[in-house]
Structure 1
């Protein structure tokens, strides 16, 4: 009996070391802390943990409506925590007036698009167990929300994959600020679909991406601080007007960047 009681006490002590913050919602962002030296998994997928026990991850736009967060303490004790995940009803977004080659690209550019995708994948690959965003996140630019995360895209009448970013309409040339501290892993002025593109690695597999820029003010390898100007708003790539498309990833999982700074998802605003 004493051994059973001791085991229960140790499990309870370990469980209380877990602190979780964020939104358990499709496209949500979750961060927290565990006892240093612990391991964390979400639905069986390993989560990077800093030396002092901090972790963060994102939930996909179509994440299952229940999630299991498990922790293994330095003592080897495993704790399992179940969280309900709120469903989201995404709107439909119809965009007309795009050049045909930006909706159904000709065969001549397919190799270029494949190269772009490979380079973006490499830029999002780092999984440093460092929390460069300790000061939190901010909006990279102020403006009207002209496109929301998860929207079902219909381009020139053709259904396409959902929109995985937040579109912020702003005048061309508006300065764009880093949403948090990090390291530049991509700074390309001319990707086929996204034009001027910057990716910032914030540590723990969390990255943010800035698309359609007219000018880039950073290079790969640069360290940036929260609020530092990294480029200017433009309409390069597939765009019908000047805006910033801001995206967020946890490894390969795309989540809603507005939930890095707001309590509820950002909604498209009327003109």
Structure 2
């Protein structure tokens, strides 16, 4: 009986132990590795073009007979001013000379369709009589003089037919010599005198196309604006020592009656560079500097339409900003 009781108790203890044991934890299922999130990809930058500033066609300048018109627009476009057509340069301008007979209203148009009118002031030039001239300078008489005058004419025409790039009047002009004005551009002059060759009196009438400065012989002549020297000659018949300076846009400065020429054809100069020294050579009654400016149409085949403008008016121009 005792043995049976112990056996039963043992069985009960084992059964209780079995009941109190926790159930085995099931094995976790194999999990596939989670892939890493891809690195963010930078979106390509969209290049934006800087808006191009279009130059609105405009025209301004020294609006006087003998002055200069400067028109601005896109390079390569075209302007027509007073019937003359010009292409706008890489610098964005076309520059037109105004003759001394320009009408009171000058129209302009641009190939974009823009157009306008410019009011041109009238000149008031005087009449002068100048006596005591050497008639052989007023008019070549001897065979040698005529040959000299002919050679000089050819040199000048060849030089005026050449064109160089440059700013024209965009950088403004300064006086080429430190000297007072002795004769303005524009007056009609009547010259009278006696020939040393024939002893006969003579007279000649012409319009003064330069700006004269009273300067003693040897006064420095400096470039009034940047340019390229296209003629440097110490002895032209009428002009004496002479320098031609091409500023671009068809503008050429002419310096006459020089005692010394300090540059050579092909030289590039800046404003203020030394060109020459004043003198009393060629057709003159005394030491002075004659400064002239000729405007030439760069697109014209003939030089017949070229003319001189007033250098003093160029001194009023302000340099481009």
- Residue from 208, 212, 221 that aligns with 1:176: 221
Corresponding residue of 1:268: none
Is the aligned partner of 1:261 residue 2:315? yes
Corresponding residue of 1:6: none
- Residue from 33, 48, 56 that aligns with 2:72: 33
Is the aligned partner of 1:218 residue 2:257? no
Q: Secondary structure at the match of 2:206?
A: coil
Q: Which has the larger radius of gyration?
A: 2
In the TM superposition, what whole-angstrom CA distance separates every residue of 1:8-64 from its partner, at most 9, and x where no partner exists? xxxxx98x7123332221111222311223112222223352114122221112223
Q: Secondary structure at the match of 2:148?
A: helix
Unaligned runs of 5+ in 1: 1-12, 264-271
User: Which deviates further from its counterpart, 113-122 or 85-94?
Assistant: 113-122
Give yes or no for contact 1:113–1:192 (8 Å, CA) kept in 2. Answer: yes
Q: Secondary structure at the match of 1:122?
A: helix
Equivalents in 2 of 1:152, 1:132: separation in Å? 28
User: Which deviates further from its counterpart, 226-235 or 37-46?
Assistant: 37-46
User: Which deviates further from its counterpart, 99-108 or 229-238?
Assistant: 99-108
Is the aligned partner of 1:99 residue 2:134? yes
Shift, 1:127, TM fit: 3.6
Give yes or no for contact 2:62–2:314 (8 Å, CA) kept in 1. Answer: no
Equivalents in 2 of 1:170, 1:139: separation in Å? 13
Q: Secondary structure at the match of 2:96?
A: strand
Is the aligned partner of 1:90 residue 2:129? no
RMSD: 2.1
Q: Secondary structure at the match of 2:248?
A: coil
Aligned residues: 246
In the TM superposition, what whole-angstrom CA distance separates every residue of 1:134-170 from its partner, at most 9, and x where no partner exists? 4321100122211111110111173412000001001
Corresponding residue of 1:137: 173
Q: Against the structure 1 CA distance between its residues 69 and 211, is the aligned structure 2 distance closer, same or farther, given a 3 Å change threshold?
A: same
Shift, 1:94, TM fit: 2.0
Q: Secondary structure at the match of 1:97?
A: strand
Give yes or no for contact 1:50–1:129 (8 Å, CA) kept in 2. Answer: no
Equivalents in 1 of 2:160, 2:87: separation in Å? 14
Give yes or no for contact 2:168–2:250 (8 Å, CA) kept in 1. Answer: no
Equivalents in 2 of 1:258, 1:43: separation in Å? 22
Give yes or no for contact 2:229–2:246 (8 Å, CA) kept in 1. Answer: yes
Equivalents in 1 of 2:264, 2:258: separation in Å? 14
User: Which deviates further from its counterpart, 23-32 or 113-122?
Assistant: 113-122
Give yes or no for contact 2:166–2:226 (8 Å, CA) kept in 1. Answer: no
Equivalents in 2 of 1:123, 1:202: separation in Å? 13
Q: Against the structure 1 CA distance between its residues 195 and 148, is the aligned structure 2 distance closer, same or farther, given a 3 Å change threshold?
A: same
Q: Against the structure 1 CA distance between its residues 152 and 133, is the aligned structure 2 distance closer, same or farther, given a 3 Å change threshold?
A: closer
Give yes or no for contact 2:138–2:204 (8 Å, CA) kept in 1. Answer: no
Give yes or no for contact 1:125–1:205 (8 Å, CA) kept in 2. Answer: no
User: Which deviates further from its counterpart, 97-106 or 174-183?
Assistant: 97-106
Q: Secondary structure at the match of 2:256?
A: strand
Q: Secondary structure at the match of 1:123?
A: helix
Corresponding residue of 2:152: 116
Q: Secondary structure at the match of 1:115?
A: helix
